[in-house]
Structure 1
């Protein structure tokens, strides 16, 4: 009996990967931001501050992470964002059923 695996199936765990679309240099900050559910711009700012505080030593970690972090396959589904996962509020609301007023017995 052979089993076939779906290559586009979602992994049961988070995967640390460099995206192909949302990147400035190599996608390291974007990949870290996606993995930790943080804004990639915030990750870039933190990385820049740490680089300044360490006298440039932290900048040496960027090429290492770039080399070690695999690139996201081009057939990967788009990353879920708040805009794509949240349903519009107006479309999901239904009016509350009206209750008959005391003494209202309907049509006679």
Structure 2
């Protein structure tokens, strides 16, 4: 596990993924339901901003759970 994940507990879970596991990992880290985080992400896509770039960056930076 990388230092990034060890420091803040962010990992992409091996189960419960829909696309890459980013929303599920964020939900686990912050004690939320995965579907809540997914809906919030989809709603945020209605606003201008770099949401997809942040998602892609998290996909690359968050290690997968082993």
TM-score tier by shorter-chain length is: 0.7 to 0.9
Higher helix share: 2
Structure 1 or 2, whichever has the larger Rg, is 1
Structure-2 residue corresponding to 1:46: 40
Query: 3, 9, 13: which one pairs with 1:19?
Result: 13
Q: Normalising by structure 1, what TM-score?
A: 0.51
Q: Does 1:62 align with 2:62?
A: no
The number of equivalent residue pairs is 60
Structure 2: which 5+ runs fail to align? Answer: 1-6
- Shift of residue 68 of structure 1? 0.4
**Unpaired runs of 5+ in structure 1?**
1-12, 74-108
* Alignment TM-score, normalising by the size of structure 2: 0.81
Q: RCO higher in 1 or 2 (8 Å CA, sep ≥ 6)?
A: 2
Cα RMSD (Å): 1.6
